[in-house]
Amino acid sequence: MASPNVPPASSAERLAEQLQRIITKRIEEDSLVLPMLPLVATKCLEVLKNPNFSLKDLAAVIEKDPIVTVQLLRFVNSAAIGTREPIKKVQDAVARLGVNQLKTFLVEAATRRLFESKDTRILNTNKRIWEHSLVVASVAADIAALANSGDAETAYLAGLLHDVGKPVVAAMLLEAERSIRLSRPDAVWISPADFLTVVQKIHRPLGIKLAQKWEVPEPVIRAIRDCDDYDSSERSSAANAVRLANAIVKEQGIYEGEVNKDDVEAMVMIGQSVLGVDIGACRQLVGSVRAAVKAYL
């Protein structure tokens, strides 16, 4: 006899479908309340719009946010960026990165906050999604360089943001559960598997909406939108680099959720044909990138 606390599969599936319809409708109606870009990032990007901006002024804005300050110094002193002499001042860190890389860092810092959660049910899941996103971003940038696309920065940002809708959907689902539990403590709720299914199905359009709200460059938004499939007409596109990076990273087991092995292998083979890169070299990149990401995290 089934436990009364375990909902029938059909009930869980119906609830998952209902939640999916509600969130999808809100996306279509543009009625979702999406996370704002953090104030420090907004102010920094405003300063950077002035071609005669002062490094001192920019550093002063960053230093008002101690979390971003620590992340910036940690990032600039990481194995990928750092020099022999560690950088200890924000102004020196800003000068070391340059405008384009600083913009990328600010978006990354803002994105990282979306994956933080006080709810233990999704904290570990979000950590694994964030690790996956960081590895995909770095591998996509390397693939773009190997394919001579000359657009590694766009590929990095698109890889970083390709799953950004997932923590947003997860937070919405948890809020919906809390609301239901307040009025009906014994109400049926979806299983962890159904939870992930809903997140997987609707995260991409939500991620695109968020990137648009944050005024991410249009090429990055286009790459996020198009990275679900390869575009043979534009072989060296950032979207193709992200698609292949995502497949290779999944292949290496850095992913949260179920993976269809046959589909992933097909995506890797097609990506190799479209981009003309050495898949062996790309697979080797994943190991070194993952080590750097774990050190950074």
Q: Which sequence spans correspond to the domains of the chain?
A: 34-114, 120-297
Of residues 135, 289, 280, 245, the one with CA closest to residue 237: 245
Residues 82/72, Cβ–Cβ less than 8 Å = no
Mean pLDDT confidence for 104-121: 86
Does the structure show a pLDDT above 50 at 240? yes
Here the tokens at position 276 are 């003309």
Of residues 171, 68, 86, 79, the one with CA closest to residue 129: 171
Does the structure show a pLDDT above 80 at 119? no
pLDDT at 1: 44
Neighbours of 178 (CB within 10 A): 10
Burial of 138-155, coded b for 16+ CB within 10 Å and e otherwise, reads bbbbbbbebbebebbbbb
Mean pLDDT confidence for 242-250: 96
Helix 261-275 and helix 238-251: axis angle, to 10°?
A: 140
Residues 248/282, Cβ–Cβ less than 8 Å = yes
Burial status of residue 83 (CB atoms within 10 A of its CB: 0-12, 13-18, 19 or more): exposed
pLDDT at 243: 95
At residue 75 the predicted structure's pLDDT band, cuts being 50, 70 and 90, is confident
pLDDT at 289: 87
Residues 96/76, Cβ–Cβ less than 8 Å = yes
Neighbours of 12 (CB within 10 A): 19
Residues 44-61 have pLDDT tens digits of: 989 988 888 899 999 999
Mean pLDDT confidence for 225-244: 90
Does the structure show a pLDDT above 80 at 296? no
Residues 155-199 have pLDDT tens digits of: 999 999 999 999 988 888 888 888 887 888 877 777 777 888 888
pLDDT at 140: 95
Tokens 């694994």 found at: 128
Q: Which residues contact 112 (CB under 8 A, 6 or more apart)?
A: 71, 130
Does the structure show a pLDDT above 70 at 89? yes
Mean pLDDT confidence for 213-241: 90
Dihedral sign from CA coordinates of 206, 156, 58, 113: positive
Classify domain 120-297 by CATH number: 1.10.3210.10
Residues 239/158, Cβ–Cβ less than 8 Å = yes
Tokens 């809020």 found at: 175
d(CA 45, CA 56): 15
The amino acid occupying position 135 is V
Here the tokens at position 146 are 């190997």
